[in-house]
Amino acid sequence: MERLIEKWQDKISEVTIGAKKPVKIGGETGIFFIDGEDKCPNPPKVAMEVWDMEPEAWPETLKANFGKALKTPGEWAKMCAEKFGADIICLRLASIHPDSKNTSSQDAGKVLEEILGAVSIPLIVIGSGSPEKDNDVLLHCANISKGQNCLFGIATQNNYKTLTAACVSNGHSIISEAPIDINIAKQLNILICDMQFPADKIVIHHATGALGYGLEYTYSIMERTRLAGISGDKMLSMPMISFVGQEAWRTKEAKTGAKDTGIMWEITSATAYLNSGADILVLNHPKAVSETKKTINNFTLRQ
């Protein structure tokens, strides 16, 4: 039987992250991993989370992989890059949150510099989820890492101006996030571009739901975004990121289930998001990283 190959009229923008060893994401001309439809010019990348403090809420099965390195962000990042094969490091500035340690911009800047000195792979830098504090700290971090071409987040519809300005003046890329709302995602990208921000430095995040916790909603929104993007909607033709690790390890199954349940949860969620079009998967467990990378290789080798 003849296979019907869909031809799409447009392509996803290519975003380059990093300076010393830059990686490219995006550039798709079709749906990922459909033989003949997409050439997959830049296979999806796996990022690993590194925090600026020891993540107290992480279960032991997860913490055990990193040992003492959890107390030293530079060491932790090096371990992720060299031992576990991460393509990108995702620095989460958890300690700056006023309800956590309320650490300062300068403290965060030191951690960022420590990681930049320890690894040469690209960096994602995200805040703590406190809009005002994040604005202060990320502005400082964007300034001191000028020229490193990091990916900063997270810009939302109600809080995007400071971060956009900080990224545009320091040459960084930005993560724009709309909580599972494709119309707001498009609007936010327009607002960011209206500030003279280049569209090919935006990465979309639709919020991530782990398996059993809203994965299917995010999946279908991501798929729709990708279809709109390759159909010519320039304000949605950006690569996408999924924070799979944080969501998988938040589930009660991962925290209280059998030893490997969390890992399985993370791998399963990551695999689903790969198929929905995610270009960067942010993961936590080294086993999930190696298995997801295997899956990516298998998928892309087949083409």
Partner 1 sequence: MFIIGERINGMFKDVAKAIKEKDKAAIQSLAKKQIECKANALDVNVGPASSNPREAMEWLVKTIQEAADITLAIDTTKQDVMEAGLSLCKSKPIINSVNANEEKMKALFGLAKKYKASIIGLTMDKAGIPKDSEGRLELAMKMVASCMEHGIDVSRLYLDAVILPVNVAQPHAKEVLKTIRDSKMLSDPAPKTVLGLSNVSQGSQAQYKSLINRTFLSMAIASGLDAAILDVTDKELMDSLITAELLMDKQLYCDSYLDAYRKK
Residues that bind partner 1 (CB under 8 A): 182-184, 186-187, 190-191, 193-194, 228, 232-236
Q: Is 176 or 268 the residue whose CB approaches partner 1 more closely?
A: 176
The nearest distance, CB 183 to partner 1, in angstroms, is 5
Q: What is the DSSP letter of 234?
A: G
Residue 258 pairs with which residues in a beta bridge? none
Shortest distance (Å) from residue 25 CB to partner 1: 22
Whether the Cβ atoms of residue 44 and residue 31 lie closer than 8 Å to each other: no
Give the dihedral sign, CA 129/274/24/294.
positive
CA 20 to CA 219: how far, in whole Å?
Answer: 33
Angle CA(171)–CA(173)–CA(177) in degrees, nearest 5?
145
Q: Which is nearer to partner 1, 165 or 199 (CB)?
A: 199
Taking the least distance from each CB to partner 1, the nearer of 235 and 238 is 235
Least separation in angstroms between CB 162 and partner 1: 21
Which of these, 127, 124, 147, lies nearest to 136 by C-alpha position?
A: 127
Q: Which is nearer to partner 1, 85 or 232 (CB)?
A: 232
CA distances from residue 180 to 21, 37, 228 in whole angstroms, order as listed: 32, 26, 15
In whole angstroms, the minimum distance from the beta carbon of 187 to partner 1 comes to 4
Name which of 137, 44, 53, 124 is nearest 90 in CA terms: 124
Closer of 112 and 228 to partner 1 (Cβ): 228
Task: Outline where DSSP puts E strands in the chain.
Answer: 14-17, 23-26, 45-51, 88-92, 123-126, 151-155, 173-177, 202-205, 241-242, 280-283
> What is the smallest separation between the CB atom of 191 and partner 1, expressed in angstroms?
8
CB 196, min distance to partner 1, A: 13
Residue with Cβ nearer partner 1 (22 or 179): 179
